[in-house]
Structure 1
Amino acid sequence: MNKFKVFVIALVLISFKTFACLNGESKILKNGAYAYQDYDGFVPVGHHFFSGDFPKLIVELDSLYKKTNDLDYLSDKGYLLIVLGKYQEALNLYLNIEKREPNRYSTASNMGTLYELMGENQKAYT
């Protein structure tokens, strides 16, 4: 295989890995709050997270879940916990969600990302 083909294949594989977890220019939570928003016109070096707001948002998401029983609020809470580096707390939350409603896409996706961040790559695949 020539060097150009190898380069193109490597570039494609790297791009899939790079954008596997957080796609898009913004992440809007179930309650309408933004978890991050990229700057217009710039290629992001990463996402600009509004993590200073996260503790308040976590409390709000908990409250909304208790009022509605909508698991999307808990899933968003877990997402914020992951971004804050509270992996074990997020894992416990997602395991609880999985017990309550098995095979949710967002749960599987976020748990895969979480296990990868925790260095448990084999669990991320299952």
Structure 2
Amino acid sequence: MPRDMCLNFSKLDHSTPYTALGDGPDFIDDLIQMTYSMIRATNDPMKEFKQSQYSRIKHKSDLLHRPRTVLSVSLFCMTPLFEAIGSQKPPSSIDYKLIRGSVDAIIPENDARADLNLQTVGKEFKLVQVNPTCI
């Protein structure tokens, strides 16, 4: 998207560091937004996202490039994923093999390439990994 056609994302709390600095949205922004969802899923109030624009951009950059310094204890195990996403440079294509490898590093007993099925477990819906050798 040409810069003169881009909307001003810099003032949005949940904009990615790249769009906050004036770049147009890119595919990597979807993965970065996913990391924000992971943070929010831990009931983190994300108060760093409400700070001044400079503080907000610095925190978001640290999440991608120095996650060990800013991730909460509940997400510390996700460091490999944050690092893998942070190593991607827009506007280049995303290295999905690296992303899958980082997920494998987080939970080595699961296969990030395996199929998932939505199943009822008790009274809840859960994504359950399908083991192709058991079918």
* Greater percentage in helix: 1
TM-score, normalisation: structure 1: 0.28
TM-score, normalisation: structure 2: 0.27
